[in-house]
Chains A and B, each alone.
Chain A
Amino acid sequence: MPLPSIPTDFALPLLCFLPFLASIFVLAAPGEKIRGAAWVTAVVAAILSLLSLALFPSIANGEVLISRIEWVPQLGLNLTLRLDGLAWLFAVLITCIGFLVVLYARYYMSPKDPIARFHALLLAFMGAMIGLVMSGNIIQLAIFWELTSLVSFLLIGYWYHRGDARDGARMALIITGTGGLALFVSMLVIGHIVGSYELDDVLASGGKIVESPLYPVALILFLLGAFTKSAQFPFQFWLPNAMTAPTPVSAYLHSATMVKAGVFILTRFWPVMHDHQLWFWIVTYTGLATLIFGAYTALFQRDLKGLLAYSTISHLGLITTLLGMGTPLAAVAAIFHIANHATFKASLFMAVGIIDHETGTRDVRKLSGLRKYLPFTATLAIIASAAMAGVPLLNGFLSKEMFFTETAEFDPNVFVNLSLPIGATLAGMLSVAYSIKFVHGVFFGPPPTELEKVPHEPPALMRRPIEILVLICLAVGIIPGITIAPYLAAAVHSVLGAETPYYSLSVWHGFNLPLIMSIIAMVGGAVIYVPYYRKLRDIDGVPLTRGLVGQRVFERILVTATNRWARHLVGAFGTQRLQPQIFVVIFLALAAGIAAGWARMGNLPLPDSFDPVLGLVWLLGGISALAAAQQAKFHRLASMILMGGAGLATCLTFAWFSAPDLALTQLLAEIATTVLILLGLRWLPKRSPVPESTPMAARLRRYRDVALAGLVGLGTALASYAIMTRSASEGISDFFLANAYKEGGGTNVVNVMLVDFRGFDTMGEITVLGVVALTVFGLLRRFRPASDSAERPEQQRVLDEYAPGSSENVADDFLRIPALIMNWMFPVVVVVAIYMLMRGHDLPGGGFIAGIIMSLAFILQYLAGGTRWVEERLRILPLLWIGWGLLLALLTGVGAMVLGAPFLTSAFAYADIPLIGKVPMATALIFDLGVFALVVGATVLMLIALAHQSIRRPKVAGSNKPKQRVGADKWN
């Protein structure tokens, strides 16, 4: 069929990323519309199926399609998508069975389930799986591997209101996630051995990996990953527990795709890793043990999904055994069986889903004789089970015969020579027996008596996916040569390359040893089942292996590690108290500083100059700081004033060392901080000094803190002295100095940096400021003072006793003249603020400074008129100012992008305004205007929120009295 050829660089990324995009789309689409989500998923799955099918001609003859998306080419990290025969086979299984599962789920899922989440996860899983099989880079492969574990966790736990679903999901995640971690490490080791992380290079490395001394490490970790994912013994127990997932998920993940990831990766790395005794013994016998154990356990399951789960484990064991044997023919059989198992097992899961759906149970003891009620479903399920049992003329027979042939090959080792064929035949018998149990127990026998409703056939469309799959089973089983042969050949060739052996897919190979083994298995299975079927039906648990529960070990480890050990660790190292934590943090920081700085200290030169003025400033500043520390407990006001003293010394220092912008900002921020703290002081508890009654422990703690603080002070002083006395290294400052005027259009370099060169930082900074203001506002809206500070402050009460009402109107009394001046100052301060804003680009000033000055104008009004007076007259809405400020700043940045420049690029020019003269007009000014608006809004909002508390009569914490609110409602 001539197909339009699709460009590789388009098709492969589409195949890999379309599911993820669709997943996001389904999640983001409004509403939980069952039809919409299902439609989108179905269409996407159909597109992907057709796309992957259409890609076959391009890889049919051993070609490898590669599409590279460069990410960090310097480190060799690229997103490589690679499609060869094996990846193609898997991609087709994933997309086509995915499509059928979506169709099936449309009828299976109840409209009450959150259907959008289901489809989104299904799509995401599809994408992860496609990404896994198409990974051309082994690190990328490990990432997609973990992604499949994660999404499968979410899918197994889809009904998360059910405890067993949560447990099953968690177990699956822990087991497969741990295995994924091991796989990731092994990928790193393999990449190290080969010297490249590209899959092509790894596959071309020949015997390099096997001959490396690191091979055992790489192999064990690799197998841990593969075995956990493919539920090999002894990690098999997560798979039956994952059956708590919705049945479409089980049909998709636990038959066709996810559990196949383990055998996929075994196949993928088979060419470069199998040629070693270690591989042979571990892989073959793990597989054989899993094969027999799974088949044996499946026989005793009461839950139909449990039976299928153990059967899946057993079949995965079969594939693993084949891959372990290391002969090319065995590898062919393994690949063939991967495809066969996916088709019949997915259809069986779907059939069980129908039975569950129609009867309300999956318990074999309650089911029987369903053939009369569900004739079509029964026929389909019987054919699929026959394929599972390996009955001739079905696809399962072909690959099972190949398996028998391989096990029957002569091997010089007697143990191998006997154990493989005997084990294989035994497992064959068991699998025939459980297949008969499934078919006979459910569909034959007397009509069911314990069902709550009368089962009937489901909608025909729900059966259609099963019909298609069963048809494939039949087609492959009867005419393999014209159905599967070319595709299998491509997959086999991509793994074995030149080693590809001759193999025959014909149904009849003559009367040989494998056929005898098959016949023994068939007869033996019937012999096991028939005499005991009643017992098998009602048996509770699995005889002989009851004690052998990996699950119990797992749960015990989980409880011990996450519960007991965690508690011990918290008891040993944790504390809920803040002070010890801060102590440890500061202590560690000090230790790190000493460790890093000790050797680099060098010889400290003696001071060569002393500035008496600066010395005096800091004599006062230092005393203020120490006194503030000493007074902070009992004399908060004094401590705050002293802190202001230290702040002023800092401010003077900024001015002293040629930083006028900093001095201005520091001064203004200082004022705003002081006002805020003053407003807050009123809500803190009274505390008066207690005469010497400090206990010994507290005093010791204080000495310890003094010692640490002293050491930190000494350390910072030494460090800063050491740095200041050596010459500066070449920095980036010269760039800003040289370009501020040329490219930023301003002479105030600091401001140009803030609004232009480093505008993005400022953007983040004003966002932080806005967030803080909103948080403050939000916290104070529901402010509940402690009961002991809910009363009006003592000073106000004294005033009121003296002259009732006077505490409300201090401005009319002794503050009248200052209040008048402050009132008159309002326009002046606003003009100063605007002036500071306008000149900021060229002279000290700018949005921050202007913003704080502007808010100081409001503070003055508060001081002069009182809270109530201001709130009645305040016409600005701080929330709007914050919003507009942020928007303005953002729009300036986006405007630059619209004009084709990077975000926040600014332009400037000089405008000639009559009377005023030449005025620099930079777009940075608009940005600065945004900063200004935001700072005004944020500061005023915080201020109002705090100040408003004093006129509110808020509920006291813990009391249930009705709210009594006084004052303007908009601030409540």
Chain B
Amino acid sequence: MELTLALAIGVLSASGVYLLLRPRTFQVIIGLSLVSYAVNLFILSMGRLRMDAAPILSGADADIANYADPVPQALVLTAIVIGFAMTALFLVVLLAARGLSGSDHVDGKGD
């Protein structure tokens, strides 16, 4: 279980980093998204993996040992939304740059 997730994080970040180093803006967008997945999973795994732990409290007298760690979840939730905003912004910057420079190279020139 831990190994699966660790490998998944590794594969996601490797593909993401490779794309970040590519010259095309579209590749970089996809790369950033893949890196975000990897990072979000990594943060989630900081709370240690637990299956079948209840995420929702059953009431005031709940035994807190039975519940999933909420802190990484709250962090990741924020990260997902910010990641969405970042992708959108980057997409539009890339479109504007492509319009101005005529190229979709990250440096705005070259091919």
> A residues near B, CB below 8 A?
576-579, 582-583, 586, 607, 609-611, 614-615, 618, 621-622, 625-626, 628-629, 632-633, 636, 639-640, 643, 646-647, 649-650, 653-654, 656-662, 665-666, 669, 672-673, 676-677, 680, 683-685, 705-706, 708-710, 712-714, 716-718, 720-721, 723-725, 727-728, 731-734, 736-738, 740-742, 747-750, 753-754, 758, 761-762, 765, 768-769, 772-773, 775-776, 779-780, 783-789, 842-844, 848, 935, 938, 942, 945-946, 957-958
User: What sequence of 0s and 1s flags, for each residue 50-73 of chain B, a beta carbon within 8 Å of any chain A beta carbon?
Assistant: 111111111110101001111101
Closest to A716 in B: B13
A657 near B68: Cβ-Cβ < 8 Å: yes
5 A-B pairs with the lowest CB-CB distances in the bound complex, closest first: A713-B14, A717-B10, A721-B6, A709-B18, A629-B15
In the docked arrangement, what's the CA distance between A957 and B49, Å? 52
Interface residue from A633, A636, A684 paired with B98 (Cβ < 8 Å): A684
B17 near A709: Cβ-Cβ < 8 Å: yes
Centre residue among A676, A680, A683, A716 by max chain B CB count within 10 A: A716
In the docked arrangement, what's the CA distance between A935 and B80, Å? 13
Known: A578-B107, A710-B14, A725-B2. A765 touches B33 (CB 8 A): no
- Chain A interface helix/strand/loop/mixed: helix
Closest to B38 in A: A716
Which residues of the other chain, B, contact A761 by a CB distance below 8 angstroms?
Answer: 78
In the docked arrangement, what's the CA distance between A400 and B31, Å? 77
Which residues of the other chain, A, contact B18 by a CB distance below 8 angstroms?
Answer: 629, 705-706, 709
A629 near B30: Cβ-Cβ < 8 Å: yes
B45 near A723: Cβ-Cβ < 8 Å: yes
Q: Closest Cβ of chain B: how far from A612's Cβ, in Å?
A: 10
In the docked arrangement, what's the CA distance between A515 and B45, Å? 88
Which residues of the other chain, B, contact A713 by a CB distance below 8 angstroms?
Answer: 10-15, 17
In the docked arrangement, what's the CA distance between A680 and B44, Å? 31
Which residues of the other chain, A, contact B104 by a CB distance below 8 angstroms?
Answer: 684-685
What are 18 A-B contacts defined by CB distance under 8 Å?
A: A629-B15, A629-B16, A632-B27, A643-B30, A657-B44, A666-B40, A676-B88, A709-B14, A713-B14, A740-B70, A748-B55, A749-B67, A750-B70, A754-B74, A772-B88, A787-B102, A788-B102, A843-B56
Known: A684-B26, A765-B81. A785 touches B37 (CB 8 A): no
Interface residue from A633, A754, A779, A842 paired with B56 (Cβ < 8 Å): A842
Interface residue from B11, B58, B81, B86 paired with A622 (Cβ < 8 Å): B11
Known: A639-B30, A848-B77. A647 touches B7 (CB 8 A): no
Q: Closest Cβ of chain B: how far from A809's Cβ, in Å?
A: 26
B87 near A673: Cβ-Cβ < 8 Å: yes
Known: A713-B11, A754-B78. A683 touches B60 (CB 8 A): no
Closest to A851 in B: B81
Q: Closest Cβ of chain A: how far from B100's Cβ, in Å?
A: 6
Interface residue from B15, B41, B47, B57 paired with A741 (Cβ < 8 Å): B57
B1 near A610: Cβ-Cβ < 8 Å: yes
A662 near B17: Cβ-Cβ < 8 Å: no
Interface residue from A708, A718, A733, A747 paired with B58 (Cβ < 8 Å): A747
Interface residue from B21, B31, B46, B102 paired with A723 (Cβ < 8 Å): B46
B42 near A720: Cβ-Cβ < 8 Å: yes
Which residues of the other chain, A, contact B102 by a CB distance below 8 angstroms?
Answer: 786-788, 957-958
Which residues of the other chain, B, contact A727 by a CB distance below 8 angstroms?
Answer: 48
A779 near B92: Cβ-Cβ < 8 Å: yes
Which residues of the other chain, A, contact B1 by a CB distance below 8 angstroms?
Answer: 607, 609-611, 614
In the docked arrangement, what's the CA distance between A626 and B13, Å? 10
Known: A658-B54, A659-B68, A753-B70. A611 touches B13 (CB 8 A): no
Interface residue from B50, B81, B94 paired with A665 (Cβ < 8 Å): B81
Which residues of the other chain, B, contact A762 by a CB distance below 8 angstroms?
Answer: 78
Q: Closest Cβ of chain A: how far from B17's Cβ, in Å?
A: 4
Which residues of the other chain, B, contact A643 by a CB distance below 8 angstroms?
Answer: 30, 33-34
In the docked arrangement, what's the CA distance between A717 and B7, Å? 6
Interface residue from A636, A683, A721 paired with B3 (Cβ < 8 Å): A721
In the docked arrangement, what's the CA distance between A29 and B33, Å? 48
B98 near A786: Cβ-Cβ < 8 Å: yes
Closest to B81 in A: A848
A724 near B70: Cβ-Cβ < 8 Å: no
Which residues of the other chain, B, contact A659 by a CB distance below 8 angstroms?
Answer: 44, 55, 68, 73, 76
Known: A658-B68, A733-B71. A957 touches B100 (CB 8 A): yes
In the docked arrangement, what's the CA distance between A665 and B82, Å? 12
- Chain B interface helix/strand/loop/mixed: helix
A661 near B7: Cβ-Cβ < 8 Å: no
Q: Closest Cβ of chain A: how far from B103's Cβ, in Å?
A: 8
B41 near A680: Cβ-Cβ < 8 Å: no
In the docked arrangement, what's the CA distance between A946 and B16, Å? 25
Interface residue from A626, A721, A768, A780 paired with B15 (Cβ < 8 Å): A626
In the docked arrangement, what's the CA distance between A784 and B100, Å? 7
B22 near A733: Cβ-Cβ < 8 Å: no
Known: A672-B84, A713-B11. A654 touches B44 (CB 8 A): yes
11 new A-B pairs (CB below 8 Å) besides A665-B81, A724-B6, A843-B56? Answer: A607-B1, A632-B26, A649-B8, A658-B50, A680-B91, A714-B10, A728-B48, A768-B82, A775-B92, A776-B92, A784-B100
In the docked arrangement, what's the CA distance between A957 and B76, Å? 40
A665 near B91: Cβ-Cβ < 8 Å: no
Closest to A742 in B: B60
Which residues of the other chain, A, contact B20 by a CB distance below 8 angstroms?
Answer: 582, 586
Which residues of the other chain, A, contact B30 by a CB distance below 8 angstroms?
Answer: 628-629, 632, 639-640, 643
Centre residue among B8, B46, B82 by max chain A CB count within 10 A: B8
Closest to B93 in A: A779
In the docked arrangement, what's the CA distance between A738 and B60, Å? 8
Closest to A787 in B: B102
Q: Closest Cβ of chain A: how far from B40's Cβ, in Å?
A: 7
Which residues of the other chain, A, contact B46 by a CB distance below 8 angstroms?
Answer: 723
Q: Closest Cβ of chain A: how far from B58's Cβ, in Å?
A: 7
Q: Closest Cβ of chain A: how far from B98's Cβ, in Å?
A: 6
A705 near B21: Cβ-Cβ < 8 Å: yes
Interface residue from B13, B59, B91, B93 paired with A712 (Cβ < 8 Å): B13
B26 near A636: Cβ-Cβ < 8 Å: yes
Q: Closest Cβ of chain A: how far from B65's Cβ, in Å?
A: 9
Q: Closest Cβ of chain B: how far from A780's Cβ, in Å?
A: 6
In the docked arrangement, what's the CA distance between A731 and B47, Å? 9
Which residues of the other chain, A, contact B45 by a CB distance below 8 angstroms?
Answer: 720, 723-724
Known: A708-B17, A741-B59. A646 touches B84 (CB 8 A): no
Closest to A957 in B: B99
B64 near A734: Cβ-Cβ < 8 Å: yes
Which residues of the other chain, A, contact B13 by a CB distance below 8 angstroms?
Answer: 712-713, 716-717
Which residues of the other chain, B, contact A614 by a CB distance below 8 angstroms?
Answer: 1, 4-5
Interface residue from B21, B60, B69 paired with A733 (Cβ < 8 Å): B69
Which residues of the other chain, A, contact B59 by a CB distance below 8 angstroms?
Answer: 741, 747
In the docked arrangement, what's the CA distance between A762 and B60, Å? 25
In the docked arrangement, what's the CA distance between A321 and B38, Å? 69
Which residues of the other chain, A, contact B85 by a CB distance below 8 angstroms?
Answer: 768-769, 772-773, 938
B57 near A732: Cβ-Cβ < 8 Å: no
In the docked arrangement, what's the CA distance between A642 and B88, Å? 18
Which residues of the other chain, B, contact A628 by a CB distance below 8 angstroms?
Answer: 15, 19, 30, 34
Interface residue from B2, B62, B73, B88 paired with A661 (Cβ < 8 Å): B73
B71 near A731: Cβ-Cβ < 8 Å: yes
B99 near A683: Cβ-Cβ < 8 Å: yes
In the docked arrangement, what's the CA distance between A166 and B84, Å? 46
B56 near A657: Cβ-Cβ < 8 Å: no
Known: A676-B88, A677-B29. A724 touches B5 (CB 8 A): yes
B33 near A618: Cβ-Cβ < 8 Å: no
B38 near A621: Cβ-Cβ < 8 Å: no
A658 near B52: Cβ-Cβ < 8 Å: yes
Which residues of the other chain, B, contact A754 by a CB distance below 8 angstroms?
Answer: 74, 77-78
Q: Closest Cβ of chain B: how far from A764's Cβ, in Å?
A: 9
In the docked arrangement, what's the CA distance between A382 and B51, Å? 94
Q: Closest Cβ of chain B: how far from A382's Cβ, in Å?
A: 68
A577 near B6: Cβ-Cβ < 8 Å: no
Interface residue from B38, B49, B64, B107 paired with A724 (Cβ < 8 Å): B49
